[in-house]
Amino acid sequence: MAGERSDEIVVVGGGVVGLTTAVVLAERGRRVRVWTRDFAEATTSAVAGALWWPYRIEPVALARVWALRTLEVYEELAARDVRSGVRVVEGVLGGTRLDEVEGWLAGRVPELRATTAGEYAGPAVRTRLPLLDMPAHLPWLRERFVAAGGVVEARTVSSFAEAEAPVVINCTGLAARELVPDESVRPVRGQLVVVENPGIDTWLVRKDEAGEYAYMFPQPDGLVLGGTAEEDVWSLEPDPATAEAIVRRCAALRPEITGARVLAHRVGLRPTRPTVRLESEPLPDGRLLVHNYGHGGAGVTVAWGCAEEAARLALD
């Protein structure tokens, strides 16, 4: 082992989970390198709708603990650091009843209440939640990490043995399927459409009886419309018919979207797993491998809670 790296930690993966984990470790005084195949702006995290909400993540009980810790951090960032890209924005969770969420959210999010008949047709909850502008948040995370002494390197990793550090943290998301290898990691394809915002300043999420989603998130670069959840689909090419259907579903909820100029199409592959893998694994050569992957559609939602748990495993 190279002597100069005997106290170093290597985080493999440069999405929101990897960068947040690296920030936590670096700000605790550890020497940390991030190895990433793609810089943050080219990761799945970069195309996330990025509303704080535990979506497609198991186990639910732990996910809620990680999510609530992350909520604390985002609320603080929204209040004090506009550069972080975190805002707390009002919106509606359609198809969700108040009694389904108030047990674990009561007193934790502001203005949590059932919607009125005039606000939404059917059961729904209105509240204020963190909404992240990922093109701003990811560079901010990287800058915060570098300011704490961290180093980011563009590197494709074929084996964790390549890292000579005594502690390696696996935040590779979907790539863990081949790298670990872990065949339980599967893609859930999400497609989004960004349109010129006609003046909408609240978010809306709805899942209909057929299981199709419609959601809209007002972001600085436009109104983000979604979406899809296609299991085991690997294509990153936007599908025109899917895009048209997304706009149509969203326009049915907010007619002013009809005819809005399309600015961009985005596709991301959520790294889904039956449960998040957040655990340590001793390696045969005496080094420690910490796994932190499989967050599905909730990487943004649990990033800080999982990062702190990964740091505990790495430093204990």
* 298 labeled part of a ligand binding site: yes
Q: Give the Cα-Cα-Cα angle 301, 306, 307 (nearest 5 degrees).
A: 110
* 296 labeled part of a ligand binding site: yes
Tokens of 46: 């970069």
Taking the C-alpha atoms of residue 136 and residue 113, their distance in angstroms, rounded to an integer, is 30
* 101 labeled part of a ligand binding site: no
* 280 labeled part of a ligand binding site: no
Using the predicted structure, report yes or no on whether residue 208 has a pLDDT greater than 90.
no
Name the one residue in this structure whose structure tokens are 């701003």.
136
* 301 labeled part of a ligand binding site: yes
* 85 labeled part of a ligand binding site: no
List the one residue out of 118, 125, 85 whose CA is nearest residue 104.
125
* 45 labeled part of a ligand binding site: yes
* 210 labeled part of a ligand binding site: no
Q: What is the pTM of this model?
A: 0.95
For the chain, domains (ranges, CATH) are: 1-85+133-184+274-316 (3.40.50.720)
* 300 labeled part of a ligand binding site: yes
Q: How confident is the model at residue 241 (pLDDT cuts 50, 70, 90)?
A: very high
* 228 labeled part of a ligand binding site: no
Using the predicted structure, report yes or no on whether residue 4 has a pLDDT greater than 50.
no
At 28-86, the pLDDT tens digits run 999 999 999 987 666 778 888 899 999 889 999 999 999 999 999 999 999 999 999 99
Name the one residue in this structure whose structure tokens are 């796994």.
291
> Which residues touch 116 (CB under 8 Å, ≥6 apart)?
none
* 215 labeled part of a ligand binding site: yes
At 246-278, the pLDDT tens digits run 999 999 999 999 999 999 999 999 999 999 999
Alpha carbon of residue 111 to chain centroid: 24
Tokens of 294: 């499989």
**With pLDDT > 70 as the criterion, what percentage of the chain qualifies?**
97
* 172 labeled part of a ligand binding site: yes
Taking the C-alpha atoms of residue 267 and residue 244, their distance in angstroms, rounded to an integer, is 14
Tokens of 5: 């790296």
